[in-house]
Amino acid sequence: MYGISVSNDYTREELVSRSKELAIHLLPLPAINNERYGVGFIGVHEGEGASFIFVD
């Protein structure tokens, strides 16, 4: 997980928690099989006017 915040040292806990919930529902299961290594990426951007989460 990578997070960045415009106003704090860390992103807000509610954004981090929500990003984990989204990842659980979006990423394939099982994580590891013959077609994938089980590696994912979560980004949390807490901006001044908007925040966003991306999961890959």
- Residues 22-55 pLDDT 10s: 999 999 999 999 999 999 999 999 999 999 999 9
E strands present in the chain = 2-5, 32-33, 36-37, 42-46, 51-55
| Domain extents in the chain | 2-40
What are the residues whose beta carbons fall under 8 Å from the beta carbon of 20, sequence distance 6 or more?
A: 42
pTM of the model: 0.82
